[in-house]
Amino acid sequence: MRILILGGFDLERGFSSLLPICTLHERVAAWKEVSGRQIQLYIGDTMDYEALAAVFQDVQPEAVVHFAEQRSAPYSMIDRKHAVFTQTNNVVGTLNVLYAMKEFAPDCHLVKLGTMGEYGTPNIDIEEGFIEIHHKGRSDVLPFPKQPSSFYHLSKTHDSQNIMFCCKIWGLRATDLNQGVVYGVETDETMQDARLATRFDYDQIYGTALNRFCVQAAVAYPLTVYGKGQQTRGYINLRDTIRCIELAITSRPGEGEYRVFTQFTEQFSLVELVEMVVRQSQRFGLEAQVKHLPNPRVEAEQHYYNAAHTRLIELGLEPHLLNETVLESLIGLAIKHREHIDRNLILPTVNWRMAKNEVSRTSSR
């Protein structure tokens, strides 16, 4: 099976991964050395339909894993131009993928990266894509109501609707992976060669809270929690996300089938996460402090959260959980690369309540 991985985003403003990352070409070459396998590489923009369609014609893919979207919520909230870019790039890019499938590879299976953030925090259990609703004596199974919380998350919701429609009218096959927050940097593949290492982002635009906490602990910077910290989300180990994509590809949906899998393995609140990092840091002799900041996002800070996530388990996923070993390796990584940590990248300067934000470098403390 050949899998086509589309594009990826370069970063603005000099934010960079804590770990030095090899170029795509270097990593493809390293993988060839390690595994003997050649990944066929096409560099292109999903907004360029002719280029995209040519790849579909050439490759005739069985499956396409579409990760080629603007991936940051804070980025989408910087200002109007970033919001419009995010929605145009993501929505039109995905429309182009759908048309290329219909025109040149109608049996291809689209595996599309969505996000748990499409759902928001409803006061009922979140189901995997669809919910059976009983209402005034009748019932139907309908798309789960979405309450996305940034222009980025909205773009994913728009994608989901467009994909569902194309499955219906054209008989396309698609799996929408509503992914939780990913943590971890190691997989069996990346561990085979240092050049295969993947990103570890901790900055205010691309970083995740857990990565930020680990980096803050490593440089004795207070661990910054946005708001009350009761915000609960689904989390998943990088190893498991890779396995989930594999499971999605190998269990092909039927013609016209639009499937939704929630792709996470555990739920944590921010406060739970930060406490885990504080506790683990002590084993490194670090005295981590916690500091609550005004929340730059507009989101419920105390809410019910319980999301179903059984379909990938049923397909064979064996979760790697967020245990002490994983935390130890993440904090250890931050300590190891301590001298590369830029404290000025950490504090949030994109406020959801403003139409225009300056993404500024902030002085430490």
Q: Give the binding site for a copy of itself (CB under 8 A).
A: 49, 80, 83-84, 87-88, 91-92, 95-96, 99, 102-103, 122-125, 131, 133-136, 138-140, 142-151, 154, 157-158, 161-162, 164-165, 168-170, 298, 304, 352-353, 355-356
Are 26 and 195 in contact, with CB atoms under 8 Å apart? yes
Q: Give, in order, the Cα–Cα distances in Å from 136 to each of 140, 249, 309.
A: 11, 39, 29
Rounded Cα distance, 55 and 180, in Å: 30
How far apart are CB 132 and a copy of itself at their closest, in Å? 8
Report CA torsion sign: 359, 215, 155, 134.
negative
Please state the closest distance from residue 86 (CB atom) to a copy of itself, in A: 10
Active-site residue, selected from the candidate residues 46, 86, 156, 202: 156
Minimum CB–partner distance for residue 330 and a copy of itself (Å) = 31
Answer yes or no: are the C-beta atoms of 93 and 87 closer than 8 Å: no
Among the listed residues 103, 111, 13, 14, the one whose alpha carbon sits nearest the alpha carbon of residue 60: 103
* Nearest to a copy of itself of 37, 81 (CB atom): 81
Cβ-count burial of 353 within 10 angstroms (0-12 exposed, 13-18 middle, 19+ buried)?
exposed
Active site residue 156: yes
The residue among 146 and 343 lying less far from a copy of itself, judged by its C-beta, is: 146
CB of 171 to a copy of itself, least distance (A): 9
Nearer to a copy of itself, 91 or 113 (CB): 91
* Catalytic hit among 46, 86, 115, 232: 115
Q: Which residues contact 272 (CB under 8 A, 6 or more apart)?
A: none
| Pick 96 or 280: Cβ nearer a copy of itself | 96
Which of 178/241 has CB closer to a copy of itself?
Answer: 178
Specify whether 115 is catalytic: yes
Query: Count of H helices and E strands in the chain?
Result: 10, 12
- Coil, strand or helix at 98: helix
In whole angstroms, the minimum distance from the beta carbon of 31 to a copy of itself comes to 34
Q: Which of 86, 112, 119, 152 is catalytic?
A: 152
Question: Which residue from 93, 82, 90, 5 is spatially nearest to 47, judged by alpha carbons?
Answer: 93
Tell me the catalytic residues: 115, 152, 156
